[in-house]
Structure 1
């Protein structure tokens, strides 16, 4: 959980806590040696599905797989 004292400094720098957290996570991943680096990059991928709703009912979901590298 973020400290409330850090929020004004992040906002002044034009960042949110999420962007700060992502920057820190990328730095840690880049410092890892093999095979941990490869494992961390694999876990970084995001999988999600998108469903459009028509007349109050969901249509067939579209599965997406995105990663920050793509």
Structure 2
């Protein structure tokens, strides 16, 4: 049986690595000075659309 000593602290806190990574990235972005802070916050925004596929063809996308 494996020891809990080898478990990363983010895992023992009940987080996934992605959650931990996003938390750290947000903290770093908040610590930046202007104009770097606003540039980093603008890069954080993500735009995407979702389309339903029927009979192998995409339908009109929705936001």
- TM-score range relative to shorter protein: 0.7 to 0.9
Which has more radius of gyration? 2
Distance across 2 between alignment mates of 1:25 and 1:59: 35
Q: Does 1:60 align with 2:60?
A: yes
Q: Which structure has greater helix proportion?
A: 2
Structure 2, unaligned stretches of length 5 or more? 1-5
1:29 equivalent to 2:14? Answer no
Separation in structure 2 between the aligned mates of residue 22 and residue 13 of structure 1, nearest angstrom: 15
Structure 1: which 4+ aligned runs deviate by more than 2 Å? 7-12
Return the structure number with greater relative CO, CA threshold 8 A, min gap 6: 1
Q: Kindly tell me the number of residue pairs found equivalent between the two proteins.
A: 57
**What RMSD over aligned residues (CA atoms) do the two structures have, in Å?**
1.7
